[in-house]
Chain A
Amino acid sequence: MKKILAILLAGMMTATAFAGCGGGASSSSQGGSSSQGSGESSAASSDGGGATDEMTVDANTVDPSLFGDENNITLKVWAPDKAVSLVKEQVEAFKKAYPDKTFTKIEVVAQGEGDAGTQLLNDASVAADVFSFASDQLNKLVDAKVISEVAFTKTVTDMNSPETITAGTLDGKLYAYPETNDNGYYLVYDKTVIPEDKVGKLEDVLAACKAAGKKFIFDCGDGFYSCTFAFTAGVKIDGLEEDGVTQKFAQYDEAEAVKTLQAFSKLIKEYKGTFTSLNVAQIASGFSTGTLGAGVDGSWNTTADQDALKDKFGAAKLPTITVDGTEKQLVSLFGYKYIGVNASSKFPASAQILAYYLAGETCQQQRAEKLGWGPSNKAVQEMPVVKDSPVLQAIAQQAQNACAQVNIAPTFWTPMGNLGNKLIAEETNPDDTAYFTKLLKDTIANVRDEA
């Protein structure tokens, strides 16, 4: 009797396990088939215009015939909360730009860019047709076939800065419309603590903070920030290996890299009490309570920092560090934001045209003016709104000294965070070359999952 029961239960368990798989499999195959469908239609629409002429009218709109037979259009747009009201206005303008079309409903829903990819992968069929997301999610979206290719590749490529196009391209196909060229971190500082001509060198910044009795925040425990140490040391990432999961590193000079890490550690030790490793959420807070002199903060926190510092707010690219008498620019991780089109959209052509519009010149200019987002559009980058903004200039300069946040292995973050923690650790001796050599090797081995 017991045996029969055991077999029965085991059978039930396997059955439930299979039922779970079945659900997942059928849904993913659904996603696959619909993505093929929309792929065909977008290909058809671009074919219709010919390979060279994509029938784009200008930097915002396209030929209305590209809508095909889509009418009574219903679309959902995901935008981060701060941008929702602006995007709503832009959607209204979009409707006016195509007066012959009827739009039943274009809904704008708040959805943070950092979480958009996950939400889309959960269930693409209830997700937005047009969505903003950060560049690091592109890989998994393409792998899961939930994002469709850009229908106007040539025009979009011509309009936007080359690095955003490169980062949005996988296997020679452009998968998303570049939206911003600003998703990174830079130096924010209190102008009354650090004179503007002193922000170039990390040594000067720390000295000024120490002299004023204020702190400097850099989040060493978070791989997103602490990979700066490795990158500055010359250990830069270079995409993924053939297997698609192992991180590849560019060639580097080990002796030089170790020396740089030691210089960081030494400097941090020297300014113990001033240099603090805290979450970036503490930066705006620190400025508002007047305990902070400077910090390395993300572009998404700019408004909060400005509110806290008012006219004392200063922005600059990351400083340099002196290693053996030579100044080395700090190299950061830098990402971009994109607008993607859901592969299972019921109105694929309209979604493409709306994405083109939202990522177009006018919309980028409006976002730069109203939200302070750094544009990816080359024409907008030359406009006074960007040229005269110290924040956007600082970010643009830092972008020149950065590794793009694309093709990053999931194993990248923790070892990099660990490297940062080791650099600032109490027991670390900055003069111990052997220790740092081992630390560097371990970090790379862990990132590559070879340990």
Chain B
Amino acid sequence: MIKSYKLRRNIANAIIYVLLAILGILWVSPFVYLLMHSFRLESMTTVPYLIPHEWGFDNYVALFTGSGSSAINFPRWFLNTLVVAIFSCIISTISVLAVAYTFSRLRFGARKKLMNVAMILGMFPGFMTMIAIYYLLKAMGLNQNLVALVICYSSGAGMGFQISKGFFDTIPRALDEAATIDGATKNQIFWRIILPMSKPIVVYTVLTSFIGPWCDFILAKIIMGDARDLYTVAIGLQSMVSAEFINQYYKQFLAGSVLVAVPITTLFLIMQRYYVEGVTAGGVKG
């Protein structure tokens, strides 16, 4: 038994830090590998060693100059995804927050029931209704169309209100009451009082709904079919490593995967400071 408290603490800390370091390395190594190999010049597909021998920007350049076939058009895919992500992000953020506010602040007859229904519907995996969605969109003439993707990604978003509602519930109702006394409507309270105090949850909602379109594969694939010009990056990148293209496009695929992280990371960096800024304490006196 080690007597000295200081020694014991140091040993414990050492063990914890070594463990954390190992976990950290494990977690970050795929990204480091991806980043390094996106700059690799030699070989066509994978190589048996970790550090590339020749480095350069050729893969990134090739990705954007589109040297090669008409079927691989990464800039177009990137733009498609960005547009879809921006629109579905705006629509779903507003709808999620509005639904959450409604359930948190307003009291109406079917409130509990609607919340339960949303909860149960949310338990089914999204792709369960994929085929039905496809035929509905087709009936509306929206298949092979980017608008269809925006609709798919944003229309069901309101059901993911739970986390935001939980946040709104922590904001004292006294604020609402005070605003009501001052003559504010429910709508004004939402936009002027609640939203400015809920920056962390707004940021969270924006980020999650922005990331969605970049990651979704299965729905986009069904909707787009053979319209390669309308592909999003997820389907596009997958098609680059299909048997037909892998030998020519594997390294560009690595570069493309790195680039997908750019808009998401940028958005996060811009919004990051609001994560800590959202403080509700001190909003009410007495």
Interface residues of A (CB under 8 A from B): 5, 9, 12, 16, 19-20, 23-24, 27, 78, 80-82, 84, 109-115, 119, 122-123, 126-128, 281-282, 284-285, 288-289, 291, 298, 300-301, 303-304, 308
Q: Which residues of B have CB within 8 Å of A81?
A: 69-72, 244-245
Of the candidates A78, A112, A288, the one whose C-beta lies within 8 Å of that of B43 is A288
- Can you identify 8 A-B contacts, CB atoms within 8 angstroms? A19-B132, A23-B131, A81-B70, A82-B69, A123-B225, A127-B225, A289-B47, A300-B244
**Cβ distance B256 to chain A, nearest Cβ, rounded Å:** 17
> What's the A-B contact tally at a CB cutoff of 8 Å?
98
Q: B46 contacts the other chain (Cβ, under 8 Å)?
A: yes
Question: Which 9 pairs between the two chains have the least Cβ-Cβ distance?
Answer: A304-B247, A110-B71, A81-B71, A285-B45, A112-B244, A281-B45, A285-B44, A285-B43, A23-B135
B244 touches A288 (CB 8 A): no
What CA separation (Å) do A9 and B119 show in the bound complex? 12
**Cβ distance A337 to chain B, nearest Cβ, rounded Å:** 12
Q: B272 contacts the other chain (Cβ, under 8 Å)?
A: no
Closest residue of A by beta carbon distance from B143: A126
Q: Which residues of A have CB within 8 Å of B225?
A: 119, 122-123, 126-127
Q: Which of B117, B244, B248 has the most CB of A within 10 A?
A: B244
**Cβ distance B119 to chain A, nearest Cβ, rounded Å:** 10
Known contacts A23-B132, A24-B131; A110/B45 CB under 8 A: no
B134 touches A123 (CB 8 A): yes
Closest residue of B by beta carbon distance from A126: B225
Instruction: Using A78-B226, A81-B72 as known contacts, list a sample of 10 further A-B pairs with CB atoms less than 8 Å apart, ordered by residue number in A.
Output: A9-B116, A12-B117, A23-B135, A112-B243, A112-B244, A119-B226, A122-B225, A285-B43, A288-B42, A301-B247
Closest residue of B by beta carbon distance from A80: B244
Q: Which of B120, B225, B228 has the most CB of A within 10 A?
A: B225
Closest residue of B by beta carbon distance from A125: B138
Q: Which residues of A have CB within 8 Å of B45?
A: 281-282, 284-285
A289 touches B129 (CB 8 A): no
A110 touches B70 (CB 8 A): yes
Closest residue of B by beta carbon distance from A113: B244
What CA separation (Å) do A401 and B45 show in the bound complex? 30
Q: Which residues of B have CB within 8 Å of A298?
A: 243
A84 touches B69 (CB 8 A): yes
Q: B48 contacts the other chain (Cβ, under 8 Å)?
A: yes
Q: B214 contacts the other chain (Cβ, under 8 Å)?
A: no
**Cβ distance B22 to chain A, nearest Cβ, rounded Å:** 27
A291 touches B48 (CB 8 A): yes
Closest residue of A by beta carbon distance from B42: A289
Q: Which of B45, B128, B228, B245 has the most CB of A within 10 A?
A: B45
Q: Which residues of B have CB within 8 Å of A78?
A: 226
Q: Which residues of A have CB within 8 Å of B25?
A: none
Q: Which residues of A have CB within 8 Å of B128?
A: 20
